[in-house]
Amino acid sequence: MRAVNVELIRHTALPRDPIRRLAVAIARAVPGDALALTFRIEGELAHLCLPEVTVPRRADALWQQSCFEAFLRPAGGYAYFEFNFSPTGAWAAYRFGGRRLGRELPELTAPKMEVRRGPDWLAMDIRLALDELPELALAASISVGLAAVVEDEHGDLSYWALAHGAARPDFHDPATFTLRVPA
């Protein structure tokens, strides 16, 4: 499958930040195999808190600082997965039975991640194996919500998503799962 390229939208209830553009490319590899994501921030990176890569590890509460997020739900279902990816290499994965209900920690192999940087951009390539997630691997299509939390040099957070469904940022809102990735 060819990659689908989308732009994320900053939540308007929050202050401006030094980001000029936040885009994502997403593609599903061989059916059931993997999902490839590339998040790319463009702007004045010197004014953002984008930590350097460290040892990859599983960690919680990544959304409290700069991180990229993917919400994946088999089309027609209620259960979904939330994935968080930090520029440090830290990652998290959760399964929910419904909107913020019944959170579980699925046993997964660490996703493959690579961070690349330029003077005014940062890109993070992620390859998420789906073979350990049969709900997603066997789905005819996947409803996707893509998001990012970006911390600036003052500790303020901005929230980016494909769509925002409320006055406050809520990436778990099913209305924000606006992209469909076929098998």
Q: Quote the pLDDT of residue 9.
A: 92
**Which pLDDT band holds residue 172 (cuts at 50, 70, 90)?**
confident
Q: Are 58 and 91 in contact (CB under 8 A)?
A: yes
Is the per-residue pLDDT at 167 higher than 80?
no
End-to-end CA distance of the chain: 9
The number of folded domains in the chain is 1
Q: What is the pTM of this model?
A: 0.93
Least confident window among 57-61, 69-73, 101-105, 166-170: 166-170
What would the DSSP string read from start to end of 31-91?
A: TTTEEEEEEEEEE-GGGB--PPP---EE-S-GGGSSEEEEEEEETT-S-EEEEEE-TTSEE
**Which pLDDT band holds residue 41 (cuts at 50, 70, 90)?**
very high
Q: Quote the pLDDT of residue 67.
A: 96
Is the per-residue pLDDT at 14 higher than 70?
no
Digit-coded pLDDT (tens) for 66-97: 999 999 999 888 999 999 999 999 999 999 99
The mean pLDDT of the chain is 90
Domain limits at 77?
Answer: 4-182
- What is the Cα–Cα distance from 76 to 2, expressed in whole angstroms? 23
CATH number at residue 61: 2.60.40.1190
- What is the Cα–Cα distance from 155 to 98, expressed in whole angstroms? 31
The burial of 64, by beta-carbon neighbours within 10 Å (0-12 exposed, 13-18 middle, 19 or more buried), is given as: exposed
Q: Which residues are registered as beta bridge partners of 158?
A: 150
